[in-house]
Amino acid sequence: MTLSEETKQLTSLRLRGQRIKARVTVYADEARRRAEAGLGAVDSRSLLTRLYELPVGVPVPLHALDAHSLRALRAAPPGVVDLDEVRGVAVRRLAPVARVELVLVEGSGWDEVVRSASQFGPFCARGVVVPEGEANLDLLLLKARFYGVGVGIAANDAPHSPHWLLQPAPYRPRRHSPAQWLFHEQAWRQLGPEESLRSRLR
């Protein structure tokens, strides 16, 4: 897929304090389950950390959970976890609903844009788009290649049809964590269920 084609699938979001463009995959089954439960994004890091330790759909004895986890689960909104105090079990229902596949940072200044894009490394593939005529293009490509950041150029006569000079490195997480889950939930909150279900369902 060319960068020009890719930008048509991107959504403007604000993540980690930056305004960026992102390509997001939404998981239809979990999106529908949440809609039926009246549940939106779950962006409590504390709660996601507790849930991350539980398998989805498998009963876990309440006595196996510590007091902090029990308090967090009992305070969770409907649709997150089923607590059966009689049987003494908890069943996690919440699953990831979306995944940010690619983040694009637009700007000028080779050092700043690569540094801005690099902070998304733990979460997804990253790329930058700079204007045609970037003065330090060789340095930009050198640094971007080192960090696995893609580089796109927006031509002056076609600013909305950029093209890749350097493809982003494939995203290969070394591990999965509650922080990654939180990142994707924050993107989901901004997408909104109606927009997501209309154009991004998988």
Convert the pLDDT of each residue in 28-75 to its tens digit.
999 999 999 999 999 999 999 999 999 999 999 999 999 999 999 999
- Domain shared by 172 and 193, yes or no: yes
Which residue range(s) make up the domain with 74? 54-93
> Which of the pair, 14 or 173, is modelled with greater confidence?
14
Cα three-residue angle 94-175-54, rounded to 5 degrees: 30
Quick one: pLDDT band at residue 111, thresholds 50, 70, 90? Answer: confident
- Domain shared by 64 and 116, yes or no: no
- Domain shared by 114 and 131, yes or no: yes
pLDDT for the residue 198: 43
Considering the entire predicted model, what is its pTM?
0.87
- Decide: 155 and 132 in contact? Cβ < 8 Å: yes
pLDDT for the residue 197: 44
- The Cα 156–Cα 106 span in angstroms is 14
pLDDT for the residue 175: 83
pLDDT for the residue 201: 42
- Domain shared by 112 and 76, yes or no: no
Is the sign of the CA dihedral 114, 117, 121, 122 positive or negative?
positive
Q: Is the pLDDT of residue 199 over 50?
A: no
Strand partners, 131: 154
- Domain shared by 191 and 117, yes or no: yes
**Number of domain units in the chain:** 2
In a domain, 176, yes or no: yes
- Domain shared by 11 and 101, yes or no: yes
pLDDT for the residue 159: 56
Quick one: pLDDT band at residue 173, thresholds 50, 70, 90? Answer: confident
Per-residue pLDDT averaged across 79-97, rounded? 97
Q: One-letter amino acid identity for 169?
A: A
